[in-house]
Amino acid sequence: MSINTIYRDSQCEWVDVEAPTEEDLKFLHERYEINNLLLEDTLDPNHLPKYEEDGNVKFFLLRESTELERKTLNTISDISTKIGIFLINNTIITIHRMKTKSIVQTKKQLSTTQVETTPEKIALMIALLIMKSFDDEAVSLMETMDNIENEIFLKNTNHTNQIRRLYKLKRKSGLNSRVLTISTDAIDKFKLLNLQDSEVVDLKDKHKDVVADFDHLNIQITNLISMFLALSDQKANQVMKVLAIYSVYFLPITFIAGLYGMNFDNMPELRHKYGYYITLGVMAVVVICTFIYARRKQW
């Protein structure tokens, strides 16, 4: 069985379940009388954050940001993993499908302290670390965006892959924002627990800070994409401008060449001794005059 007792004292027992099986959930249902519907919610990889009560069971379903790099960014499970927290009297039960930083770090904090704790405080510690995981992700995405911005505007590197990186960045940031927005209700429900107001306020403030960070990040990414597209259009216009100017240079001389390429018998210039050189000279004068005119117009 993957059920482990991580912490136990006279006031609290912490039971952790990693990658639960059907037998594990059946045991939890029989041992702690947890509703099967709540246990099934912990198996859904894309379940949204929420809070529920069933008798004396308080159930928090939160999502923690992960460092896994997924090729596709379509669902919230691509950027986060869920953690189910059950509070039953003096017992806290956590269920998750993979190893998470919040569980590992909370376990370390409890092993270094000598003060007895409560299930509510352990749940609060886990929630704070979950919010910190999104804070770290926001910092990482911001650094990535800054690197892309430097490559686009300062280093003048090849831009072929930049739009893909920006799109991936936008998708990732948007999914994180969605998770955090939906988590608001569950975070607010911590006020129902036996905790000090200052502790709950710290959690809410941390949540608001992370939400604000991702809102700012979404705006910055959108602006950067717009600037990138504008810069690409500007470069394309510059190329077309150069081509158009060269077309202006050669249009008159092409006309002259086409004129004297017509097959008419009565064209005395064709029999002139210096006709060829005079025609080349006229072409050169036309090109030079066109160049001077374009420079004066700052084309």
Residues 86 and 196 occupy one common structural domain: yes
Residue 163 tokens read as 């739009």
Residues 261 and 173 occupy one common structural domain: no
Residues 207 and 249 occupy one common structural domain: no
- CATH number, domain of 290, equals 1.20.58.340
- Quote the CA–CA distance of 90 and 196 in Å, as a whole number: 17
Residues 27 and 95 occupy one common structural domain: yes
In the prediction, which pLDDT does 174 show? 92
Which of 210, 234, 258 is the last residue before a domain boundary? 234
3-state secondary structure of 265: coil
Question: Tokens 């429900």 — which residue?
Answer: 189
Read off the DSSP letter of residue 290.
H
Residue 23 belongs to domain spanning = 3-234
The tally of domains found in the chain comes to 2
In the prediction, which pLDDT does 35 show? 93
| Ranges in the chain, pLDDT < 70 | 1, 69-71, 155-160, 299
Which of 234, 249, 273 is the last residue before a domain boundary? 234
In the prediction, which pLDDT does 156 show? 63
In the prediction, which pLDDT does 157 show? 60
Q: Are 137 and 180 in contact (CB under 8 A)?
A: no
In the prediction, which pLDDT does 16 show? 95
Residues 201 and 283 occupy one common structural domain: no
Residues 182 and 247 occupy one common structural domain: no
Residues 219 and 246 occupy one common structural domain: no
